[in-house]
Structure formats: structure tokens, C-alpha cells
Amino acid sequence: MVAWTLTILLVGGLLYAIVTGLAYNVIKKTAENLKVVDVEEQPPPPEEPPPPPKDMPKVPPPPVTPPPLVQMQAPPPPIQTVTTPVIPPVQPPPAPITPPPPPRKVQSAAPARGDVRTLFSGDDYPASAQAAGAEGTAQAQLTIGPSGAVTGCNLIRSTGNGALDSATCNILRRRAKFTPAKDSEGNPTSDTYTTPPITWRLEG
């Protein structure tokens, strides 16, 4: 039994060796006969441009239906109330106030010393008028205050010489005293007095 087993193993080993050796030789022989050929890689062919797009039929857009109009009722206009202004009646202008008339003068002013020409003397002759040989006659209208003093002098007649005219009014203001005028109630009041002509004449 053991002998058969050994025989089978030997025969199998020989067969394996034969088959394996033959296969190796065949492969080796085939490899020697093969020729190595270098294949050059060809560039890819140029890409063809895409064909132009075909004319697509124009499809009209769908009709647009506007929304229905909704009519809104306008609100009624506001009611305007017009107020008529009340115009007050035009008042007449107040009547001007008329001052009461002054009391009537019942007594005029009068020189306290009589004739005012006595107030002048040769010493009152202005030197410039003497040097010029000026002479003349003056007449004045005096304003007499309630106190009897002369408050104003206005020549109504001139001597023709300024120095003589000025001397006439200056002397009357300083020296003339009057009894003041009185009104109907007996109160002193202002008045005017016109002097007699006053003559300036050089002596000699």
C-alpha cells in the first residue's frame, strides 16, 4: 500500500516538472520573438465648430390681459363754510377840542414912567454912529410880559444905521418898565406896545 502511494507521488512529480519546464520554454521562446514597436501618439483631430443654431420659429408672446378697471367713487368735496366778517360801523372822528378863549383884555400895557423917549440921552449915542455922522428915526413894537418887563423888540422903522437900530432895542429892553395889561378877571397878561418915533440926532 505504501509502495503504491510513493509511486503515484513520483509519477505526479515528474509530470509536473515536465509540464512546467515545457511551459517555461514556450513562454521564453515567444518573448524572444516579440518585437517592440514604439507607437507615436497622434494629436487629436481639431474640433469641428458647432453647427449654427437653427432658426427657431418666433413664438409670439402670450397676450397680456390688463386687469379690470375698478372705478373708485371719489369722496364728496368738503363743505367750505364761509364766515362773513362783521365790519364794525365807522365811528366818526372825534370833534376837535376847542380851547376856551382867553380872557378878554380890558386894560392895555402902559409905560410906567410915561414917554419911553425920555429913556434916551446923548450919552447913549453909539461911537461908530457918531464917527460916521449917522442920524435917523426908529420905531419899535415891544412885547410886554405879565410882569411888565419888555420881553421882545421888533423894529417897524429903521434909522438906516445898524448901530443906532441895535442901541434902540437894547435901551428899551434894559430901561423900559410897563404896567402890565389885565384880562377881564383882573389877572396880569401879556400885551404889545408900539413906541412913538425915537429920533437920533447929533448935537452941534
pLDDT in tens, 120-146: 999 999 999 999 999 999 999 999 999
Q: What is the mean pLDDT of residues 18-47?
A: 56
Whether 156 is covered by a domain: the verdict is: yes
Map residue 124 onto helix, strand or coil. helix
- pLDDT tens string 94-112: 888 888 776 676 788 889 8
* CATH at residue 111: 3.30.2420
Number of domains the chain is built from? 1
Whether 74 is covered by a domain: the verdict is: no
The candidate with the shortest Cα–Cα distance to 195, out of 117, 135, 119, 113, is 117
Rounded distance between C-alpha atoms, residue 172 and residue 8, angstroms: 198
Whether 128 is covered by a domain: the verdict is: yes
Residues 6+ apart with CB under 8 A from 194: 139, 140, 141, 142, 156
Question: How many alpha carbons lie under 13 Å from residue 16 in its C-beta half-sphere?
Answer: 6
- The pLDDT of residue 102 is 67
Whether 129 is covered by a domain: the verdict is: yes
- The pLDDT of residue 14 is 59
Residues 6+ apart with CB under 8 A from 45: none
pTM as predicted = 0.49
* Residue 187 · residue 159 · CB < 8 Å: no
Question: What is the span of the domain harbouring residue 124?
Answer: 105-200
Share of the chain above pLDDT 90, in %: 42
The candidate with the shortest Cα–Cα distance to 192, out of 76, 108, 78, 99, is 108
